[in-house]
Amino acid sequence: MSKRKQPNLSQFGFTKQTKRSDDSAPATTSLPVLPPPPPLKVAASDSTSTEDSETLAPETTAATCSGPGDHATPFNWTTKQWSEWRIRNTWLYSKNQKLGCTVCMETKSLLLAERATGVHLSEEWMNGEVSSESQNNLRKKIYKHRDSLAHKRAVEISEMKEKDVLPNKVLEVNANLMQETATSFRSAYMVAKEKMAYRKLPAVMSLQKLNGANVGNVHKSDHACAEIIRHIASEMRAKLVSKVKELGS
């Protein structure tokens, strides 16, 4: 009987292990060692994709800022671009994705009075109607308005108004106090002339308030009425004495 031919295992990826001299066990075959799989490609992070989408895609989300308008991002601009431009140009505002100038809007009436001096006024900037489909054209319009004589004059007027705010407030408060005092003095004088009791002054002051007079919160009691009448009598007496002296001389 002929011997059976042994198959060639190398063609199937197996290696033949030879028998060692110190080993009585028969030779065996071993499985091949496969190479490690190639590394998987990791997808880009969400932050990167978000940044790319923010750069490429325009947004119409309202930016967080103060001032007039609805603060909607201008047409074809990103929120980041709009925020940076507002930081550099604090007078900018947006309304319905169109730009305007807060300084020119607030000083519009004063600027119109100076129209005859050669200052060219832009109704679009004062009314918030500046827009363009091209970012470059819109930037040029911003630069042009920023450097215009009308805008510079509006900035000067706004600064002068801010400096005069405190003195104007003081004058306004003083004027209100004078009106309140005058109402109290006239009412107390009427009480004395009509020979009414001093306790009638609060009722008279309430009537004055109903008639629209500025009465304030002081000089309403019967004690205040007595003090006011005493002061008026003193002033009238001094004027009378002065007049008599003038006639006597």
Q: Domain segments of the chain: what residues?
A: 57-162, 165-248
- Answer yes or no: are the C-beta atoms of 214 and 180 closer than 8 Å: yes
Instruction: Determine the pLDDT at residue 229.
Output: 93
Name the amino acid, one letter, at 49: S
Please give the average per-residue pLDDT across 144-169, as a whole number. Answer: 78
Percent of the chain residues past pLDDT 70, beyond the cut = 63
Q: How far apart are CA 102 and CA 108, in angstroms?
A: 10
Assigned token pair, 41: 């490609």
Nearest to 135 by CA among 80, 191, 200: 80
Select the more confidently predicted residue: 38 or 47.
Answer: 38
Report how far residue 165's alpha carbon sits from residue 169's, in angstroms, rounded to the nearest whole number: 6
- Position 40 scores a pLDDT of 59
Q: Among 14-28, 31-45, 56-70, which range has the highest average pLDDT?
A: 31-45
pLDDT digits 0-9 by tens, 172-193: 777 788 888 889 999 999 999 9
Per-residue pLDDT band for 63 (boundaries 50, 70, 90) equals: very low
Q: Which of 116, 117, 107 is nearest to 155 (CA)?
A: 107
Q: Is the pTM of this model over 0.85?
A: no
Per-residue pLDDT, 181:
86
Q: Could you tell me the CA-to-CA distances from 86 to 16, 96, 155, 162 in Å, in that order?
A: 78, 16, 16, 21
Specify the higher pLDDT residue, 95 or 35: 95
Report the pLDDT averaged over residues 190-217: 90
In the predicted model, what is the mean pLDDT of residues 225-234?
A: 92
So what's the pLDDT on residue 198?
A: 92
| pLDDT over 90, % of the chain | 18
Q: Is the per-residue pLDDT at 77 higher than 60? A: yes
User: How buried is 87 (Cβ within 10 angstroms: 0-12 exposed, 13-18 middle, 19+ buried)?
Assistant: exposed
Mean pLDDT of the chain: 75
Condensed to tens digits (0 to 9), the pLDDT of residues 13-27 reads: 555 555 555 445 455
- Is there a contact between 93 and 82 (Cβ–Cβ < 8 Å)? no
CB 100 within 8 A of CB 128: yes
